[in-house]
Amino acid sequence: MPRSRTQSSSPRQTRPAIVWFRDDLRLADHPALHEASSSGRPLICVYVLDDVTPALHPAGAALRWWLHGALADLRAHLERRGGTLLTLAGSAEDLLPQLARHMDAGSVHWHHRLHERERAQDDRIRRALEQQGCEVRAHWGTVLLDPDTVRTKQGGFYKVCGSFWKALQTHTVPEPLGMPDVLSFQDVPDSVLPDKRLNEADLCPQAPDWAAGFRKTWEPGEAEGQEHLEDFLKDAVAEYPRGRDRVAEEGTSRLSPYLASGAVSPRQVWAALQTHGAHTDGPRIFLSELGWREFARYTLYHLPQLPFENLSPKFSGMRWRNSAADLKAWQRGQTGVPIVDAGMRQLWQTGWMHNRARMIVGSFLTKHLLIDWKEGEAWFRDTLVDADFANNAMNWQWVAGTGIEATPFFRIFNPTRQAEKFDPDGDYIRQWVPELRRLSGKALFEPWAAKEADLRHGGVILGKTYPRPIVDLKDGRDRALQAFRGL
Ligand code: FAD
């Protein structure tokens, strides 16, 4: 029988409790862990990389890189308390019941997931465990509130974020839980599921190692997430209403990968903001962004087609273009439109892109290039360290105009105007598109319209050192409007 290391003062329960970590890689404010630890049972903490269940959405490459660090961080925290983290790879549907059987677990604890396919999988796992005599306990741990709580007067669900957010704030958001005081653990012998152990090194890129820029930019982990939050509240939240749109500045919290992996919980952010003057402009506007995150989850829960279909049925007849060359130029940051290329290269090199830049590159892809938003959603899913099934899909539908509450399709961002407004000194473009750094004024924003002498002076040869635009902005806009009118 496996050895148990018990330091708990709670009544002794001999059968262990499994805590199944998913997108909640933290110890504090973890209702599932909290409940399992107070049950008095010795704990088994497990993470399963389920790449094999076809109905689910596998983690993209950037997220896998993040996961590598986040799992190591969680394991280190658990080891400091005498435990460890077991990581498995394969079908969670097979592995959870198998692990529970091998270890004679008395209970399994997890946080609810949102998409109907994930919930269906959880139901199947629950049934299998219960048939084995193992109790299952689930909590809401990745959202502010259970998505069934916020209802319209007619009992339906909200389709507009503003009304949803207003309604949510009439409810009480539970206080975040602290770290459990005492944890006791059960060892899992090496002989249990030996061929299902996750080789965590495989989560990182080997050859080529494209993650150097990621390592320079990010440190995954619970303590780092809390530090990001504290630094942001101390230094930037007051200026957030202005700073959040300046692409070259660190005017936003950069909490997204910590929130997406669950190193920081939304309730922790909510609570921190309440004590930080939630009604003053900066904190209020920042909280409303957390509202968009919550709304994306709420929408995914109520409208599971969100990542797969245009929510506005009108777009089912949209004649998107199919151009592998244009898509590739966009992905590589080689469109010839500097602000678009800057955003796409920031994404490629760091796994993150400023929100304003995400809107600009999204508009450019779906409107100027008239390429289906699902291509953009897939690319972001693979390249963002904060890749998030709900946020990503909702924002792509918003940008493309295909969502329920979305920017109208005919509102097409002019990338040059956007750059002039949100990168007025051109610092963002110079940082990410260094071949243009010696250009100044309008030439930096629109090199194709610059005088030959200015380009020569800046060391730029269009078509050679920097691409000519792959689409004429006016022609692209007209083509998009024509496609839209044809619906
Ligand atoms: P802050 O401005 O500091 O905001 C704080 C938190 O609020 C963020 O961490 C995030 O959790 C949430 N938030 C902010 N803006 C939004 C928003 N528009 N929608 C939903 N939640 C928001 N965000 C992701 O977390 N994952 C994604 O995969 C993702 N894909 C996107 C795709 C497109 C096309 C667009 C336009 C936006 C996308 N976003 C996504 C939303 C947003 O760009 C990022 O959350 C934000 O840039 C993260 O930086 P931050 O943490 O500094 O944000």
List the structure tokens of 93: 């549907």
Q: Is 168 in the pocket of ligand 1 (CB under 6 A)?
A: no
How far, in Å, is the centroid of ligand 1 from the Cα of 343?
Answer: 14
Q: Which of 330, 388, 391 to mutate to test the pocket of ligand 1 (most atoms within 8 A of CB)?
A: 391
- Provide φ and ψ at 117, rounded to 5°: -70, -40
| Angle (nearest 5°) at CA 421 between 417 and 422 | 115
- Whether 384 is in the pocket of ligand 1, judged by its Cβ within 6 Å, is yes
Output the residue whose Cα is nearest ligand 1's atom 43.
355
Closest residue CA from atom 50 of ligand 1: 254
Spatial distance between the Cα atoms of 478 and 308, rounded to a whole number of angstroms: 27
Q: Which residues are catalytic?
A: 289, 292, 320, 355, 373, 396
What is the ipTM metric for this complex? 0.99
Is ligand 1 within 6 A of the CB of residue 292? yes
- 292 CA → ligand 1 middle, Å: 8
pLDDT at res. 10: 47
Ranges of beta strands (E only) in 84-213 are 85-89, 107-111, 135-139, 185-186
Q: What is the pTM of this model?
A: 0.96
Determine the Cα–Cα distance for residues 36 and 27; give it in Å rounded to an integer. 12
Q: Which residue's CA lies nearest to atom 4 of ligand 1?
A: 289
pLDDT value of position 9: 43
pLDDT of residue 404: 83
Q: Give residue 324's pLDDT.
A: 98
pLDDT at 3: 41
pLDDT of residue 1: 37
In the three-class reduction of DSSP (H, G, I as helix; E, B as strand; rest coil), residue 158 is classed as coil
Q: Which atom of ligand 1 is nearest to the CA of 359?
A: 36
User: Over the chain (487 residues), what is each successive 10-residue block's mean pLDDT?
Assistant: 42 85 98 96 97 88 98 97 97 97 98 97 98 98 98 96 97 96 94 98 94 97 97 94 95 97 98 87 95 98 97 94 98 98 98 98 98 98 97 97 84 96 98 98 97 97 98 98 93
Per-residue pLDDT, 278: 75
Q: Ligand 1 atom 49: the closest Cα is on which residue? A: 254
How remote is the CA of residue 87 from the centroid of ligand 1, in Å? 28
Atom of ligand 1 nearest to the CA of 381: 28
CA of 143 to the centre of ligand 1 (A): 15
Q: Tokens standing for 393?
A: 């899909």
What pLDDT does 12 receive?
A: 56
In short, whether 259's Cβ falls inside 6 Å of ligand 1 is yes
Using an 8 Å Cβ cutoff, are 265 and 24 in contact? yes
Using the mean position of ligand 1's atoms as its centre, give its distance from the Cα of residue 465 in Å: 33
Backbone φ and ψ of 258, nearest 5° = -70, -40
For the CA of 389, the closest atom of ligand 1 is 28
User: Does residue 355 line the site of ligand 1, with CB under 6 A?
Assistant: yes
Supply the pLDDT for residue 277. 79
Task: Give the chain's radius of gyration (CA, Å).
Answer: 24
- For residue 353, which atom of ligand 1 is closest to its CA? 47
Ligand 1 centre to CA of 315 (Å) is 25
Atom of ligand 1 nearest to the CA of 358: 36
Closest CA to 141 of 19, 5, 291: 19
pLDDT for position 415: 98
Cα 95 to Cα 100: distance, rounded to the nearest angstrom? 8
Q: Which residue's alpha carbon is at the smallest distance from atom 46 of ligand 1? A: 355
- Determine the Cα angle at 184 with ends 181 and 185, to 5°: 140
20: three-class secondary structure by DSSP: strand
- The preferred substitution site among 227, 230, 289 for testing ligand 1, maximizing ligand atoms within 8 Å of CB, is 289
- Is the minimum distance from the CB of 359 to ligand 1 under 6 angstroms? yes
Q: Is 388 in the pocket of ligand 1 (CB under 6 A)?
A: yes
**Would you state the pLDDT for residue 181?**
86
What is the whole-number distance in angstroms between the Cα of residue 233 and the centre of ligand 1? 17
Q: What are phi and psi of 314, to 5 degrees?
A: -50, -30
Contacts with 487 (C-beta within 8 Å, 6 or more apart), sequence order: 314, 315, 317, 318
End-to-end CA distance of the chain: give it in Å, rounded: 67
Q: Whose CA is nearest to atom 42 of ligand 1?
A: 355
pLDDT score for 407: 77
Spacing, Cα 14 to ligand 1 middle (Å): 44
Cα of 223 from ligand 1 centre, angstroms: 21
